[in-house]
Structure 1
């Protein structure tokens, strides 16, 4: 008897559509929108994410949902311009976080400065959002984008993240400014298309519990001299977890080769640069003394 996938056909089409657009570079750009081109490096328009929140929502609401995603995703944002500021509230902007079992008190403090931009659950909504947000290359130092599945907050303490870790790469700004926007776009597309950990889109028996994907979210960080892109996972392998380790390593290889476009054996480390590295969140708290997986 052949196995059949329980993933809806529309969701499978969404994954394929996202990847097709990424490969063909078909992202739509507004030729009239030069508002960011006149900014100096590191500048950002004042309160841009909040000011555009309702505009983004309007663009999305008038777009027909043709390719629903397997999961709902939420984009979060913070920067020096939004920290400790009383931003005007819209339906797209988060209110302060209450303490819940999934959001421990330890995560509340720094989460107060992170703004929830909007959530989406279709390919069309993703492009509506993407075309109304600032490219990573234009973000100031200390700004971050967080794209996480809708029920997961971008904090180590969240139940979905506390036993996991992250793949990350650090890239010098001066050598990567022209390509970083594409790298981040492809990272997001791989996340929403469920291609980092394709267990959700592979055929599986209809009986039994549905599989649980390892990816919880992806993060882009702009710093003074470098960029960092990270892929967060739900679990991190222990020494005896050969099966999980192989699955985690497959995510890292896909990130390095198919998403970022580097060669399988290519060495990337150097001044302000790192290899594609995985470390558990618990080991990360040891200030670099934890064990790393490198692909």
Structure 2
């Protein structure tokens, strides 16, 4: 089946596929015909026979039997004015997926608990096929009501600053005027999600640390928000540079921002975007965000 994607979407999808190893549920059946092999005898197995029963979504989009797992499972959350203060079933914060270790009983967590009463957990998924099944059955950002938000976060991470995975991090974000970007925001959000689940935001993941293992991904989640006059797309990170001593981390964070600006949003590297209701692609730590804009921003 020929792909209808192009540019960053195709690249991110390929990254998701290449980062995964598909299980072959027919392998045991292929070996079942060789039970009469004599002890010590090596039986040659036809790879063509093994592959004959494998059907992927690309060869059979309705009856595929092999999925392409993602590097990490993800969860989509949603809220809007219509989900607030409604007598709908709620998921208590204690029952929501958490990062390892209990949440400390701080005032910040209490505030997050109140906010999480309005957010809805839509679904979790862990394969390319399940992602597209979800994406093809939800309302695109351009059609969402005002003040609505989609949050796509790695499973086990709550889309709140107070989560253990987020509290020491920050976010890249861009704000775009609604009237000029209504036709583009759906594509931008799709490419942002694909880059997140394909693990292409963090360029350092392609290198090995001294132990021979790739570093942990900086990305915890991505968000799109609709407001009366603008859209905002954000990428949340688990760490944020705290000073000059964090030079290597700052370089890594800047790599995320440049990839977001050029490969995902499609802007030239030296483009200036600021204007009425618009911002540049900016990074701010969550701790500095609490200072109401007084923190030091990184701009690419």
Stretch of structure 1 that moved more, 76-85 or 208-217 = 208-217
Residue of structure 1 in register with 2:33 after alignment: none
1:233 aligns with 2:237: yes
- How much has 1:20 moved relative to structure 2? 7.5
1:98 aligns with 2:79: no
CA distance in 2, matches of 1:81, 1:154: 19
1:129 aligns with 2:134: yes
- How much has 1:206 moved relative to structure 2? 9.8
Residue pairs, 1:178-217, within 5 angstroms: 178-200=183-205, 202=206, 204=208, 207=211, 211-217=215-221
CA distance in 1, matches of 2:79, 2:294: 28
Residue of structure 2 in register with 1:82 after alignment: 83
- How much has 1:17 moved relative to structure 2? 6.5
Q: TM-score, normalised by structure 1?
A: 0.75
Residue pairs, 1:1-295, within 5 angstroms: 18-19=13-14, 64-87=65-88, 95-98=91-94, 101-102=102-103, 104-200=109-205, 202=206, 204=208, 207=211, 211-240=215-244, 241-295=246-300
Bigger RCO of structures 1 and 2 (CA < 8 A, at least 6 apart): 1
- Do the aligned partners of 1:64 and 1:124 also contact (CA within 8 Å) in 2? no
Distance 1:268 1:234, change over 3 A: same
- Do the aligned partners of 2:207 and 2:214 also contact (CA within 8 Å) in 1? no
- How much has 1:106 moved relative to structure 2? 3.0
Q: What SS is found at the alignment partner of 1:98?
A: helix
Q: What SS is found at the alignment partner of 1:189?
A: helix
Cα deviation code 1:28-57 (max 9, x no counterpart): xxxxxxxxxxxxxxxxxxxxxxxxxxxxxx
Cα deviation code 1:266-287 (max 9, x no counterpart): 0000100000000000000001
- Do the aligned partners of 1:63 and 1:125 also contact (CA within 8 Å) in 2? no
- Do the aligned partners of 1:65 and 1:122 also contact (CA within 8 Å) in 2? no
Runs ≥4 residues deviating over 4 A:
61-65, 205-210
- How much has 1:66 moved relative to structure 2? 1.9
Q: CA RMSD in A?
A: 2.5
- How much has 1:64 moved relative to structure 2? 4.2
